[in-house]
Protein backbone atom coordinates (compact mmCIF):
# COMPACT_ATOMS: atom_id res chain seq x y z
CA UNK A 1 0.00 0.00 0.00
CA UNK A 2 2.71 2.49 0.94
CA UNK A 3 4.16 4.32 -2.03
CA UNK A 4 7.61 4.14 -0.42
CA UNK A 5 7.14 0.68 1.01
CA UNK A 6 10.32 -0.52 -0.65
CA UNK A 7 12.30 1.47 1.90
CA UNK A 8 13.48 -0.64 4.79
CA UNK A 9 11.83 0.27 8.08
CA UNK A 10 12.77 -0.84 11.54
CA UNK A 11 10.58 -1.71 14.50
CA UNK A 12 8.52 -0.99 16.45
CA UNK A 13 5.51 -1.81 14.29
CA UNK A 14 1.93 -0.69 14.75
CA UNK A 15 -0.93 -2.87 13.51
CA UNK A 16 -4.40 -1.46 12.85
CA UNK A 17 -7.11 -4.07 13.34
CA UNK A 18 -10.68 -3.61 12.11
CA UNK A 19 -13.21 -5.99 13.62
CA UNK A 20 -16.90 -6.65 13.67
CA UNK A 21 -17.05 -4.90 17.04
CA UNK A 22 -14.57 -2.07 16.79
CA UNK A 23 -10.97 -1.00 16.22
CA UNK A 24 -7.90 -2.32 18.02
CA UNK A 25 -4.30 -1.12 17.71
CA UNK A 26 -1.34 -3.37 18.43
CA UNK A 27 2.06 -1.89 19.29
CA UNK A 28 5.25 -3.95 19.11
CA UNK A 29 8.63 -3.50 20.70
CA UNK A 30 11.65 -2.79 18.49
CA UNK A 31 12.22 -6.51 17.84
CA UNK A 32 8.55 -7.18 16.99
CA UNK A 33 8.52 -9.91 19.66
CA UNK A 34 6.39 -8.26 22.33
CA UNK A 35 3.04 -6.63 21.63
CA UNK A 36 0.56 -4.53 23.57
CA UNK A 37 -3.08 -4.04 22.71
CA UNK A 38 -4.85 -0.68 22.63
CA UNK A 39 -8.62 -0.53 22.31
CA UNK A 40 -11.35 -1.06 21.60
CA UNK A 41 -12.08 2.15 19.80
CA UNK A 42 -15.67 2.44 18.55
CA UNK A 43 -16.78 -0.61 20.53
CA UNK A 44 -19.76 -2.19 18.83
CA UNK A 45 -19.14 -0.58 15.44
CA UNK A 46 -18.37 -2.66 12.39
CA UNK A 47 -14.90 -1.44 11.43
CA UNK A 48 -14.29 -2.79 7.95
CA UNK A 49 -10.96 -1.13 7.24
CA UNK A 50 -8.53 0.94 9.29
CA UNK A 51 -5.77 2.59 7.30
CA UNK A 52 -3.05 5.11 8.09
CA UNK A 53 -1.78 7.41 5.34
CA UNK A 54 1.86 6.45 4.66
CA UNK A 55 2.41 9.84 3.01
CA UNK A 56 2.05 11.81 6.24
CA UNK A 57 2.36 9.08 8.84
CA UNK A 58 -0.56 10.46 10.87
CA UNK A 59 -3.93 10.57 9.06
CA UNK A 60 -5.89 7.50 10.14
CA UNK A 61 -9.25 6.60 8.61
CA UNK A 62 -11.82 4.06 9.77
CA UNK A 63 -14.60 2.78 7.53
CA UNK A 64 -17.44 2.15 9.94
CA UNK A 65 -21.09 1.45 10.41
CA UNK A 66 -23.08 -0.21 13.12
CA UNK A 67 -25.61 -2.93 12.56
CA UNK A 68 -28.34 -0.32 12.73
CA UNK A 69 -26.95 3.08 11.88
CA UNK A 70 -25.89 4.19 8.45
CA UNK A 71 -22.26 4.13 7.32
CA UNK A 72 -19.68 6.71 8.19
CA UNK A 73 -15.96 7.41 8.27
CA UNK A 74 -13.93 8.53 11.25
CA UNK A 75 -10.56 10.27 11.19
CA UNK A 76 -7.75 10.61 13.69
CA UNK A 77 -4.39 12.34 13.46
CA UNK A 78 -3.08 11.16 16.83
CA UNK A 79 -3.31 7.39 16.40
CA UNK A 80 -6.74 7.12 17.90
CA UNK A 81 -6.49 9.42 20.91
CA UNK A 82 -9.13 11.68 19.34
CA UNK A 83 -11.50 11.14 16.43
CA UNK A 84 -13.53 13.32 14.10
CA UNK A 85 -16.32 12.12 11.84
CA UNK A 86 -16.07 12.80 8.12
CA UNK A 87 -18.19 15.83 7.21
CA UNK A 88 -19.48 14.11 4.10
CA UNK A 89 -18.94 10.32 3.96
CA UNK A 90 -19.21 8.39 0.68
CA UNK A 91 -22.76 8.65 -0.66
CA UNK A 92 -24.43 8.41 -4.04
CA UNK A 93 -26.11 11.48 -5.55
CA UNK A 94 -29.80 11.90 -4.89
CA UNK A 95 -31.73 10.29 -7.71
CA UNK A 96 -33.99 12.34 -9.93
CA UNK A 97 -37.69 12.27 -9.13
CA UNK A 98 -39.17 8.96 -10.24
CA UNK A 99 -35.81 7.22 -10.60
CA UNK A 100 -34.52 4.58 -8.24
CA UNK A 101 -31.46 5.77 -6.36
CA UNK A 102 -28.57 3.87 -4.84
CA UNK A 103 -27.48 4.08 -1.21
CA UNK A 104 -24.10 3.17 0.25
CA UNK A 105 -24.52 0.31 2.70
CA UNK A 106 -20.95 0.53 3.95
CA UNK A 107 -17.48 1.59 2.94
CA UNK A 108 -15.37 -1.53 2.67
CA UNK A 109 -11.97 -0.49 1.35
CA UNK A 110 -9.83 2.59 1.99
CA UNK A 111 -6.80 3.45 -0.11
CA UNK A 112 -4.46 6.45 0.08
CA UNK A 113 -3.92 8.03 -3.31
CA UNK A 114 -0.73 8.58 -5.27
CA UNK A 115 2.34 9.99 -3.49
CA UNK A 116 2.10 13.16 -5.61
CA UNK A 117 -1.53 13.72 -4.59
CA UNK A 118 -1.35 14.30 -0.88
CA UNK A 119 -4.74 14.24 0.83
CA UNK A 120 -6.31 12.22 -2.01
CA UNK A 121 -7.92 8.97 -0.84
CA UNK A 122 -10.10 6.41 -2.55
CA UNK A 123 -12.92 4.37 -1.01
CA UNK A 124 -14.66 1.26 -2.30
CA UNK A 125 -18.15 0.51 -1.07
CA UNK A 126 -21.02 -1.93 -1.05
CA UNK A 127 -22.91 -1.77 -3.36
CA UNK A 128 -19.79 -1.61 -5.51
CA UNK A 129 -18.86 1.99 -6.17
CA UNK A 130 -15.77 4.17 -6.08
CA UNK A 131 -15.42 7.44 -4.18
CA UNK A 132 -12.59 9.95 -3.92
CA UNK A 133 -11.60 12.47 -1.28
CA UNK A 134 -9.32 15.45 -1.88
CA UNK A 135 -9.13 16.55 1.74
CA UNK A 136 -7.71 13.58 3.61
CA UNK A 137 -11.02 11.83 4.00
CA UNK A 138 -13.21 14.64 5.33
CA UNK A 139 -15.47 14.95 2.28
CA UNK A 140 -16.04 12.40 -0.48
CA UNK A 141 -17.34 12.54 -4.04
CA UNK A 142 -18.47 9.74 -6.32
CA UNK A 143 -16.13 8.71 -9.14
CA UNK A 144 -18.91 8.91 -11.66
CA UNK A 145 -16.75 7.48 -14.45
CA UNK A 146 -17.20 4.14 -12.73
CA UNK A 147 -20.37 4.54 -10.68
CA UNK A 148 -22.36 5.88 -13.64
CA UNK A 149 -20.57 3.92 -16.35
CA UNK A 150 -23.09 2.58 -18.91
CA UNK A 151 -21.88 -0.93 -18.03
CA UNK A 152 -22.06 -0.48 -14.25
CA UNK A 153 -25.25 -2.49 -13.85
CA UNK A 154 -23.94 -5.27 -16.08
CA UNK A 155 -20.49 -5.41 -14.50
CA UNK A 156 -21.84 -5.38 -10.93
CA UNK A 157 -25.00 -7.43 -11.47
CA UNK A 158 -26.98 -4.30 -10.63
CA UNK A 159 -24.94 -3.83 -7.49
CA UNK A 160 -26.03 -7.06 -5.85
CA UNK A 161 -24.27 -10.28 -6.76
CA UNK A 162 -25.62 -12.11 -3.74
CA UNK A 163 -22.38 -11.95 -1.71
CA UNK A 164 -23.51 -12.57 1.90
CA UNK A 165 -21.97 -9.38 3.25
CA UNK A 166 -22.84 -7.36 0.18
CA UNK A 167 -21.31 -6.98 -3.25
CA UNK A 168 -18.01 -5.14 -2.91
CA UNK A 169 -15.61 -2.80 -4.65
CA UNK A 170 -12.22 -3.55 -3.15
CA UNK A 171 -8.50 -3.77 -3.92
CA UNK A 172 -8.02 -0.21 -5.16
CA UNK A 173 -4.48 0.01 -6.56
CA UNK A 174 -2.81 3.20 -7.77
CA UNK A 175 0.12 2.90 -10.18
CA UNK A 176 3.11 4.53 -8.45
CA UNK A 177 4.23 5.91 -11.85
CA UNK A 178 0.94 7.56 -12.74
CA UNK A 179 -1.83 8.78 -10.44
CA UNK A 180 -4.35 8.44 -13.26
CA UNK A 181 -3.70 4.72 -13.66
CA UNK A 182 -6.02 2.78 -11.36
CA UNK A 183 -7.03 -0.83 -10.81
CA UNK A 184 -10.01 -2.08 -8.81
CA UNK A 185 -11.53 -5.44 -7.94
CA UNK A 186 -15.23 -6.22 -7.88
CA UNK A 187 -16.43 -9.26 -6.00
CA UNK A 188 -18.82 -10.55 -8.57
CA UNK A 189 -17.47 -8.48 -11.47
CA UNK A 190 -13.75 -8.91 -11.97
CA UNK A 191 -10.70 -6.70 -12.24
CA UNK A 192 -11.06 -3.33 -13.96
CA UNK A 193 -8.55 -0.71 -15.07
CA UNK A 194 -8.67 3.01 -15.71
CA UNK A 195 -5.89 5.00 -17.37
CA UNK A 196 -7.60 8.37 -17.11
CA UNK A 197 -8.12 8.90 -13.41
CA UNK A 198 -11.33 6.93 -13.26
CA UNK A 199 -13.15 8.63 -16.14
CA UNK A 200 -13.46 5.35 -18.03
CA UNK A 201 -12.86 1.70 -17.21
CA UNK A 202 -12.11 -1.55 -19.00
CA UNK A 203 -12.28 -5.15 -17.72
CA UNK A 204 -8.92 -6.87 -17.22
CA UNK A 205 -9.76 -10.53 -16.79
CA UNK A 206 -8.31 -12.36 -19.76
CA UNK A 207 -7.06 -15.80 -18.78
CA UNK A 208 -8.75 -15.78 -15.38
CA UNK A 209 -11.21 -18.58 -14.76
CA UNK A 210 -14.81 -18.07 -13.69
CA UNK A 211 -15.97 -21.64 -13.16
CA UNK A 212 -19.38 -20.45 -11.97
CA UNK A 213 -19.99 -18.91 -15.40
CA UNK A 214 -20.93 -21.20 -18.30
CA UNK A 215 -19.25 -18.81 -20.76
CA UNK A 216 -15.59 -19.75 -21.29
CA UNK A 217 -13.12 -16.92 -20.64
CA UNK A 218 -15.77 -14.24 -20.12
CA UNK A 219 -14.74 -10.60 -20.36
CA UNK A 220 -16.12 -9.81 -16.87
CA UNK A 221 -18.10 -11.44 -14.09
CA UNK A 222 -15.08 -12.90 -12.27
CA UNK A 223 -14.57 -12.97 -8.54
CA UNK A 224 -11.24 -11.47 -7.48
CA UNK A 225 -10.84 -11.75 -3.73
CA UNK A 226 -7.72 -9.60 -3.46
CA UNK A 227 -5.69 -7.75 -6.09
CA UNK A 228 -2.17 -6.41 -5.48
CA UNK A 229 0.20 -4.32 -7.56
CA UNK A 230 3.86 -4.29 -6.64
CA UNK A 231 5.25 -0.76 -6.07
CA UNK A 232 8.63 -1.71 -7.55
CA UNK A 233 7.23 -3.66 -10.47
CA UNK A 234 3.93 -1.99 -11.28
CA UNK A 235 3.57 -3.91 -14.51
CA UNK A 236 3.05 -7.05 -12.42
CA UNK A 237 -0.30 -7.76 -10.80
CA UNK A 238 -1.16 -10.56 -8.39
CA UNK A 239 -4.61 -11.80 -7.62
CA UNK A 240 -6.08 -14.25 -5.12
CA UNK A 241 -9.24 -15.13 -6.95
CA UNK A 242 -12.25 -17.31 -6.15
CA UNK A 243 -10.81 -19.68 -8.76
CA UNK A 244 -7.15 -19.65 -7.73
CA UNK A 245 -3.97 -17.60 -7.47
CA UNK A 246 -3.08 -15.58 -10.56
CA UNK A 247 -0.26 -13.34 -11.75
CA UNK A 248 -0.26 -10.98 -14.72
CA UNK A 249 2.51 -9.15 -16.52
CA UNK A 250 1.73 -6.10 -18.59
CA UNK A 251 1.56 -5.35 -21.41
CA UNK A 252 0.81 -9.01 -22.20
CA UNK A 253 -2.28 -8.66 -20.03
CA UNK A 254 -3.19 -12.29 -19.46
CA UNK A 255 -3.69 -13.86 -16.04
CA UNK A 256 -1.55 -16.94 -15.42
CA UNK A 257 -2.76 -19.36 -12.76
CA UNK A 258 0.41 -19.66 -10.69
CA UNK A 259 -1.69 -21.35 -8.00
CA UNK A 260 -1.52 -24.48 -10.13
CA UNK A 261 1.92 -24.88 -8.54
CA UNK A 262 0.42 -25.15 -5.05
CA UNK A 263 0.16 -28.64 -3.49
CA UNK A 264 -2.97 -30.31 -4.86
CA UNK A 265 -4.15 -31.35 -1.38
CA UNK A 266 -4.12 -27.72 -0.26
CA UNK A 267 -5.30 -26.04 -3.43
CA UNK A 268 -5.02 -22.36 -4.29
CA UNK A 269 -8.27 -20.94 -2.96
CA UNK A 270 -8.16 -18.16 -0.38
CA UNK A 271 -8.98 -14.54 0.31
CA UNK A 272 -5.80 -12.48 0.87
CA UNK A 273 -2.53 -12.17 -1.02
CA UNK A 274 0.37 -10.06 0.19
CA UNK A 275 3.56 -9.00 -1.61
CA UNK A 276 7.09 -8.55 -0.33
CA UNK A 277 7.75 -4.79 -0.27
CA UNK A 278 11.16 -5.13 -1.92
CA UNK A 279 10.95 -8.38 -3.91
CA UNK A 280 8.28 -8.50 -6.62
CA UNK A 281 8.68 -12.27 -6.96
CA UNK A 282 7.70 -12.99 -3.35
CA UNK A 283 4.09 -13.32 -2.21
CA UNK A 284 2.22 -14.87 0.70
CA UNK A 285 -1.25 -16.46 0.69
CA UNK A 286 -3.43 -18.14 3.30
CA UNK A 287 -5.15 -21.11 1.64
CA UNK A 288 -8.69 -22.06 2.55
CA UNK A 289 -10.86 -25.05 1.80
CA UNK A 290 -12.75 -24.39 -1.43
CA UNK A 291 -14.01 -27.92 -1.87
CA UNK A 292 -17.52 -29.31 -1.57
CA UNK A 293 -19.69 -26.58 -0.02
CA UNK A 294 -16.74 -24.22 0.41
CA UNK A 295 -16.04 -24.27 4.16
CA UNK A 296 -13.54 -21.44 3.63
CA UNK A 297 -11.51 -22.65 6.61
CA UNK A 298 -7.93 -23.94 6.72
CA UNK A 299 -7.70 -27.11 4.59
CA UNK A 300 -7.98 -30.20 6.82
CA UNK A 301 -8.01 -27.96 9.90
CA UNK A 302 -4.26 -27.38 9.52
CA UNK A 303 -3.65 -23.66 8.99
CA UNK A 304 -0.61 -22.52 7.04
CA UNK A 305 0.71 -19.58 5.12
CA UNK A 306 2.30 -20.39 1.77
CA UNK A 307 5.04 -18.29 0.24
CA UNK A 308 6.50 -18.14 -3.24
CA UNK A 309 9.88 -16.56 -3.93
CA UNK A 310 9.96 -17.24 -7.64
CA UNK A 311 6.88 -15.46 -8.94
CA UNK A 312 4.57 -18.36 -8.26
CA UNK A 313 6.60 -21.13 -9.86
CA UNK A 314 6.85 -22.90 -6.50
CA UNK A 315 5.26 -22.49 -3.08
CA UNK A 316 6.51 -23.40 0.38
CA UNK A 317 4.44 -24.14 3.47
CA UNK A 318 5.07 -21.89 6.48
CA UNK A 319 3.30 -23.19 9.60
CA UNK A 320 5.87 -23.28 12.43
CA UNK A 321 4.06 -22.07 15.53
CA UNK A 322 0.60 -22.34 14.01
CA UNK A 323 -1.82 -25.00 15.33
CA UNK A 324 -0.96 -28.39 13.86
CA UNK A 325 -4.53 -29.68 13.71
CA UNK A 326 -8.17 -28.98 14.51
CA UNK A 327 -7.89 -25.26 13.77
CA UNK A 328 -10.56 -24.05 11.39
CA UNK A 329 -9.29 -20.57 10.67
CA UNK A 330 -10.64 -18.11 8.14
CA UNK A 331 -8.61 -15.06 7.08
CA UNK A 332 -10.51 -12.46 5.08
CA UNK A 333 -9.14 -10.48 2.15
CA UNK A 334 -8.07 -7.42 4.17
CA UNK A 335 -6.88 -9.40 7.18
CA UNK A 336 -3.32 -10.15 6.07
CA UNK A 337 -0.51 -7.66 5.72
CA UNK A 338 3.25 -7.18 5.77
CA UNK A 339 5.57 -4.59 7.24
CA UNK A 340 8.68 -3.09 5.60
CA UNK A 341 11.27 -4.35 8.07
CA UNK A 342 14.15 -6.65 7.19
CA UNK A 343 13.26 -9.46 7.46
CA UNK A 344 9.68 -8.63 6.54
CA UNK A 345 7.02 -9.16 9.19
CA UNK A 346 3.88 -10.97 8.04
CA UNK A 347 0.61 -10.69 9.97
CA UNK A 348 -2.90 -12.08 9.72
CA UNK A 349 -6.13 -11.90 11.69
CA UNK A 350 -8.81 -14.56 11.88
CA UNK A 351 -12.56 -14.48 12.06
CA UNK A 352 -12.13 -16.19 15.43
CA UNK A 353 -10.42 -13.08 16.79
CA UNK A 354 -6.76 -14.05 16.75
CA UNK A 355 -3.86 -12.00 15.40
CA UNK A 356 -0.80 -13.97 14.32
CA UNK A 357 2.61 -12.46 13.60
CA UNK A 358 5.79 -13.67 11.98
CA UNK A 359 8.86 -11.43 12.27
CA UNK A 360 10.80 -13.61 9.82
CA UNK A 361 8.79 -13.66 6.59
CA UNK A 362 6.60 -16.54 7.68
CA UNK A 363 9.36 -18.70 9.14
CA UNK A 364 7.72 -18.85 12.57
CA UNK A 365 4.42 -17.66 13.95
CA UNK A 366 3.22 -16.32 17.30
CA UNK A 367 -0.32 -15.45 18.34
CA UNK A 368 -0.03 -11.84 19.54
CA UNK A 369 -3.72 -11.28 20.37
CA UNK A 370 -6.68 -13.55 20.93
CA UNK A 371 -10.32 -13.25 22.00
CA UNK A 372 -10.86 -10.25 19.77
CA UNK A 373 -14.05 -9.96 17.73
CA UNK A 374 -14.27 -11.31 14.17
CA UNK A 375 -11.34 -9.67 12.35
CA UNK A 376 -12.12 -7.89 9.09
CA UNK A 377 -8.79 -6.19 8.43
CA UNK A 378 -5.17 -5.92 9.56
CA UNK A 379 -2.93 -3.16 8.25
CA UNK A 380 0.52 -1.90 9.19
CA UNK A 381 0.61 1.77 10.17
CA UNK A 382 3.64 3.37 8.57
CA UNK A 383 4.48 6.15 11.04
CA UNK A 384 7.72 7.21 9.36
CA UNK A 385 6.82 9.26 6.25
CA UNK B 1 -40.32 20.35 20.26
CA UNK B 2 -38.77 17.55 22.24
CA UNK B 3 -37.20 14.69 20.35
CA UNK B 4 -36.25 11.38 21.97
CA UNK B 5 -32.91 10.06 20.74
CA UNK B 6 -31.91 6.36 20.92
CA UNK B 7 -28.67 5.41 22.65
CA UNK B 8 -26.71 4.66 19.45
CA UNK B 9 -27.03 8.35 18.55
CA UNK B 10 -26.12 9.76 21.96
CA UNK B 11 -22.53 10.17 20.75
CA UNK B 12 -23.94 13.05 18.68
CA UNK B 13 -26.43 14.58 21.12
CA UNK B 14 -24.95 13.64 24.51
CA UNK B 15 -28.59 13.53 25.67
CA UNK B 16 -31.59 11.25 25.40
CA UNK B 17 -34.01 14.10 24.74
CA UNK B 18 -33.14 17.18 22.71
CA UNK B 19 -34.92 20.22 21.33
CA UNK B 20 -35.39 20.64 17.58
CA UNK B 21 -37.85 22.38 15.30
CA UNK B 22 -39.49 21.90 11.92
CA UNK B 23 -42.85 22.03 10.20
CA UNK B 24 -42.30 18.53 8.84
CA UNK B 25 -40.32 15.49 9.92
CA UNK B 26 -37.86 16.23 7.11
CA UNK B 27 -37.30 19.75 8.42
CA UNK B 28 -36.92 18.42 11.93
CA UNK B 29 -34.20 16.02 10.78
CA UNK B 30 -32.32 18.82 9.01
CA UNK B 31 -32.55 20.88 12.19
CA UNK B 32 -31.10 17.97 14.13
CA UNK B 33 -28.31 17.79 11.55
CA UNK B 34 -27.63 21.50 11.98
CA UNK B 35 -27.37 21.07 15.73
CA UNK B 36 -25.56 17.70 15.68
CA UNK B 37 -23.58 17.38 12.43
CA UNK B 38 -23.52 13.87 11.00
CA UNK B 39 -26.56 12.55 12.84
CA UNK B 40 -28.99 12.65 9.89
CA UNK B 41 -26.98 10.37 7.59
CA UNK B 42 -26.88 7.71 10.26
CA UNK B 43 -30.72 7.66 10.19
CA UNK B 44 -31.62 8.65 6.63
CA UNK B 45 -29.83 7.52 3.48
CA UNK B 46 -28.83 9.64 0.50
CA UNK B 47 -32.14 8.87 -1.22
CA UNK B 48 -34.05 10.27 1.79
CA UNK B 49 -35.19 6.82 2.88
CA UNK B 50 -35.37 5.98 6.56
CA UNK B 51 -32.70 3.35 7.23
CA UNK B 52 -34.04 -0.16 7.80
CA UNK B 53 -33.58 -0.30 11.56
CA UNK B 54 -34.65 3.24 12.32
CA UNK B 55 -38.16 4.04 13.49
CA UNK B 56 -39.66 7.51 13.77
CA UNK B 57 -42.82 8.00 15.80
CA UNK B 58 -44.91 11.16 16.02
CA UNK B 59 -47.31 11.14 18.96
CA UNK B 60 -46.63 7.38 19.18
CA UNK B 61 -47.69 6.77 15.58
CA UNK B 62 -44.97 5.36 13.35
CA UNK B 63 -44.39 7.48 10.27
CA UNK B 64 -42.81 6.43 6.97
CA UNK B 65 -43.15 9.73 5.12
CA UNK B 66 -40.65 12.44 5.93
CA UNK B 67 -43.13 15.01 4.61
CA UNK B 68 -45.41 14.31 7.56
CA UNK B 69 -46.44 17.60 9.17
CA UNK B 70 -45.49 18.48 12.70
CA UNK B 71 -47.10 20.76 15.25
CA UNK B 72 -45.04 22.58 17.89
CA UNK B 73 -46.36 20.41 20.71
CA UNK B 74 -45.94 17.07 18.91
CA UNK B 75 -43.89 14.41 20.61
CA UNK B 76 -41.23 12.87 18.35
CA UNK B 77 -39.48 9.65 19.22
CA UNK B 78 -36.63 8.18 17.23
CA UNK B 79 -36.10 4.52 18.08
CA UNK B 80 -33.99 1.65 16.87
CA UNK B 81 -35.17 -1.85 16.10
CA UNK B 82 -32.19 -3.91 17.22
CA UNK B 83 -31.59 -7.30 15.70
CA UNK B 84 -28.71 -9.66 15.10
CA UNK B 85 -25.67 -10.31 17.23
| Whole-angstrom distance, CA of residue A220 vs CA of residue A213 | 10
CB A356 within 8 A of CB A364: no
Is the pLDDT score of A164 beyond 90? no
Confidence of residue A3 (pLDDT cuts 50, 70, 90): very low
Confidence of residue A1 (pLDDT cuts 50, 70, 90): very low
| Cis peptide bond prior to A377, omega within 30° of 0 | no
User: Which of B42, B46, B48 has the CB atom closest to A69's CB atom?
Assistant: B42
* Residue A33 pLDDT: 93
Q: Looking at chain B, which residue has its C-alpha nearest residue A86? A: B38
A94 chain-B contacts, CB cut-off 8 A: 46-48
Closest CA–CA distance from residue A172 to any residue of chain B (Å)? 24
A98 chain-B contacts, CB cut-off 8 A: none
Q: Express each pLDDT in A295-340 by its tens digit.
A: 999 999 999 999 999 999 999 999 999 999 999 999 999 999 999 9
Q: Which residues contact A15 (CB under 8 A, 6 or more apart)?
A: A25, A26, A28, A337, A347, A355, A357, A378, A379, A380, A381
* Residue B12 pLDDT: 97
* Residue A2 pLDDT: 43
B84 chain-A contacts, CB cut-off 8 A: 67
User: Which of A67, A72, A103 has the CB atom closest to B46's CB atom?
Assistant: A103
* Residue A6 pLDDT: 53
What CATH architecture applies to the domain A14-90+104-381?
7 Propeller (2.130)
Q: Express each pLDDT in A326-384 by its tens digit.
A: 999 999 999 999 999 999 999 999 999 999 999 999 999 999 999 999 999 999 998 87
Q: Express each pLDDT in A40-65 by its tens digit.
A: 999 999 999 999 999 999 999 999 99
The CATH H-level superfamily of B2-80 is Beta-grasp domain (3.10.20.30)
A351 chain-B contacts, CB cut-off 8 A: none
Quote the ipTM score: 0.93
Domain boundaries, chain A: 14-90+104-381
Is the pLDDT score of A280 beyond 90? yes
The rounded percent of chain A whose pLDDT value lies above 70 is: 98
User: Which of A68, A87, A91 has the CB atom closest to B46's CB atom?
Assistant: A91
3-state secondary structure of A162: coil
Q: Which residues contact A301 (CB under 8 A, 6 or more apart)?
A: A325, A326, A327, A328
Contact A95 B81 (CB under 8 A): no
Q: Express each pLDDT in B15-38 by its tens digit.
A: 999 999 999 999 999 999 999 999
Domain boundaries, chain B: 2-80
Q: What is the mean pLDDT of residues A60-73?
A: 94
Closest CA–CA distance from residue B59 to any residue of chain A (Å)? 23
Is the pLDDT score of A4 beyond 60? no
Amino acid sequence: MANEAHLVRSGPVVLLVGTRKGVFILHSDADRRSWSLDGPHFLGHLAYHVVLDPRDGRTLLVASRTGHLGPSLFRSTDLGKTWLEASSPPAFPKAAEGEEGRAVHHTFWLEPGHASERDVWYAGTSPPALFRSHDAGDTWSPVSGFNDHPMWGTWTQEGDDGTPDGSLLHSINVDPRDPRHLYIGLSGGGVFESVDGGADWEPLNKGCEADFNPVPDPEYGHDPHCLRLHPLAPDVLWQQNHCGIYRMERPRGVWDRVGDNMPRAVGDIGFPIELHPRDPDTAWVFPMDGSDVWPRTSPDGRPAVYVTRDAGQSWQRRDEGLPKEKAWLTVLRQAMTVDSCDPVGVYFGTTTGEIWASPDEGGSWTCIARNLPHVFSVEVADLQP
Amino acid sequence: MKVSIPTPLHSYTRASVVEAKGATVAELLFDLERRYPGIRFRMIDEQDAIRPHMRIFVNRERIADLDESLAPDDEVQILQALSGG
